[in-house]
Amino acid sequence: MNPGQPCALMFRVAITASSERLAIVHLLHLNPAYQSPMTSHIVPDQVLNRILDSHLRGVPLKSVRLVVQEDDKQVMFPIEVDFHDYIERRNPHEAAPVTTGRGLFTQRVKIRSEFVLAGLTRVHTSHSTPLAVPKDIARALR
């Protein structure tokens, strides 16, 4: 993986027709001469954050899925919230000091998932393990 390499992608957003509406961000790697989003977490993270900010702002993040495709291989990446960024942007959360051993203090933070909205905090997939694409999501991408 070379973080300085360009990447050529096409993206689309599909909405499921099921009772639980999901917004599926589908990244399709087009040209093998360019870096693949399968081999770099930087690529999908940067593109996903831009899409969430410009096209899905305000959608509950728990309703968003990321699918990356290269040739005929599709995988889904779990989306993780950048909690430091979420708190810095003064999004709704509860914080309480907690005493730890040796007289040290730490802070316990509670965040309700319905308050985490697309475009209002950064997200990442860097620690996510790719998953098989569930049938209902694959069906929505046909």
Sketch the domain layout of the chain as residue ranges.
Answer: 9-81+117-140
**Predicted pLDDT of residue 133:** 96
pLDDT, tens only, 61-116? 999 999 999 988 999 999 999 999 999 999 999 989 888 878 788 888 899 888 99
Report the first-to-last Cα separation within the chain, whole angstroms.
30
Distance between CA atoms of residues 107 and 109, nearest Å: 6
**Predicted pLDDT of residue 55:** 97
- Segment 130-137 shows an average pLDDT of 93
